[in-house]
Amino acid sequence: MERAEKIETILTFEVPPGYREGERLDVYLTRSIQNATRAKVQRGIREGRVTVNGRVATKASYTVQAGDVVVCRVLRPPPLVIVPEPIPLDVVYEDDDLLVVNKPAGMVVHPAYGHRTGTLVHALLHHVGGRALAVEDLEDEEETDDEAVGLSLVGAAPAGPGDPALRPGIVHRLDKDTSGLMVVAKHDAAHVHLARQFERRTIRRRYLALVWGHPDPPEGRIETHLGRDPRDRKRMAVVRPGHGKTAITNYRTLEHMAHTALVEFRLETGRTHQIRVHARHLGHPILGDPVYGGRQIRHGPDTGRRRAFFANLFTRMPRQALHAGTLGFTHPRTGAALDFTAPLPGDMQHVLDRLRQVEGES
């Protein structure tokens, strides 16, 4: 596929009067620009693409001050245009207001610069008979509405400078490699009603996961603050109060194998990577999780034979063993309580069966 020629985008950041963190310029911009890396920011500074208060910045180590105006000239691919694609969908429920879909592992929810095709949104647009959608369409409210697109446009536009994503219909998300149930809004009124249920924590969401070891106690509640991992901006971490958002997860152990367990997680909040980070925080990472330590032997003997056994399992399931198995909410139009269940996908069921057969019960 031919690469889209990049275009220059101007991003302006006005450092607020109350800013007292004293960060380096490269650190400040890496935190402020969506999908930026420190190496790319440093290269942009060397190339003269960053100014501070009207002067070209010459040092990445410049200490950012309150009241500074930082302007960056960033090279990015052209704006996204979502074209409907005939991708098969597992539609669990559908009416005039919403859909419930069972998302497979490996499918990205919405398009961004790294995923311009093949996402759930591309499939949804085709399914509802919607038309192509671009950022410019969302800026012209008189010309574009949810009826023309076939999906809600609430929150569909990019969230801010440097955010490339388009999210028509998306009320909540799952990680690319997490499978399971999602509700999608077909129009704005349904979206607002469903979003309010998420905000009020009345949505019923339960996930199934295979974890290393046996949580002790076997049932409990985890309440922490989650934020970006200061050592790796692509990961989330448990952070000090005031440095992240409150995250609450309830868990219950359903089954013990010798050195692993099948655990149900129930979310009260919906932070990025919440279950995965909280499982690691408990000392029981999700099996197969490549980001949060789930692909190493964490419990039980670390022998060559056992390493080979798990290597074979991770070849069959090259992702975290996490599945959004149940979803319940109040229908935005009728007020009826709707609850849905999706069975474990084949790869995760295979791993569970093999753990039962080879390692046996605790």
Cβ contact 274:247 at 8 Å: yes
Element (H, E) at 266: strand 260-267
Q: Which is nearest to 53 in space by CA: 67, 39, 32?
A: 67
Cβ contact 257:362 at 8 Å: yes
Instruction: Measure the CA–CA gap between 300 and 328, rounded to whole angstroms.
Output: 37
Do the bridges between strand 69-76 and strand 7-14 make them parallel or antiparallel, or are there none, so unpaired?
A: antiparallel
- The one catalytic residue in 26, 137, 146, 175 is 175
Instruction: Tell me, yes or no, if 68 is annotated catalytic.
Output: no
Instruction: Measure the CA–CA gap between 209 and 20, rounded to whole angstroms.
Output: 41
Structure tokens at 181: 């149930």
Q: What are phi and psi of 19, to 5 degrees?
A: -65, 125
Cβ contact 144:153 at 8 Å: yes
Q: Which is nearest to 254 in space by CA: 288, 286, 218?
A: 218
Instruction: Measure the CA–CA gap between 279 and 251, rounded to whole angstroms.
Output: 9
Cβ contact 41:26 at 8 Å: yes
Q: What are phi and psi of 56, to 5 degrees?
A: -65, 130
Tokens 């497979």 locate to 104
Element (H, E) at 56: strand 55-56
The residues annotated as belonging to the active site are 175
